[in-house]
C-alpha cells in the first residue's frame, strides 16, 4: 500500500468512526463500566531491580484488576 493511499484510507476510517460515534448515545458506555469498588493498592509499582517472581506477581495483579473491572474475557 502506497503511503499516500494508506494515509487517505486511515483518514477515511477515522471520519467514519467519528460519524458513528457521534450518532450513538455515549452515556451507555459510561454505564457499562461502573467505578471499581476494590482498592488499587495491589497495583503499586515494583522496581525492575527485583527479580522475575515480583514481575510475575505484578502482572497477575494487573490481570486480576482488569478481570474485576471488565469481567473475564474467554
Taking the domains of the chain in order of start, what are their residue ranges?
A: 1-32, 35-74
pLDDT 10s digits, 9-35 = 999 988 888 787 666 666 666 666 667
Question: What pLDDT score was predicted for residue 37?
Answer: 78
pLDDT recorded at residue 63:
87
**Residue 71 — left, alpha, or beta (φ > 0 → left; ψ -120 to 50 → alpha)?**
left
29-62 pLDDT, tens per residue? 666 666 777 766 666 665 666 567 877 888 888 8
Global pTM? 0.32
Under a CB-based contact definition with an 8 Å cutoff, are residues 70 and 35 in contact? no
Amino acid at each position: 500500500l502506497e503511503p499516500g493511499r494508506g494515509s487517505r484510507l486511515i483518514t477515511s476510517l477515522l471520519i467514519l468512526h467519528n460519524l458513528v460515534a457521534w450518532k450513538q448515545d455515549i452515556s451507555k458506555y459510561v454505564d457499562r463500566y461502573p467505578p471499581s469498588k476494590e482498592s488499587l493498592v495491589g497495583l503499586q509499582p515494583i522496581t525492575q531491580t527485583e527479580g522475575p517472581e515480583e514481575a510475575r506477581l505484578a502482572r497477575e495483579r494487573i490481570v486480576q484488576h482488569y478481570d474485576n473491572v471488565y469481567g473475564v474475557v474467554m
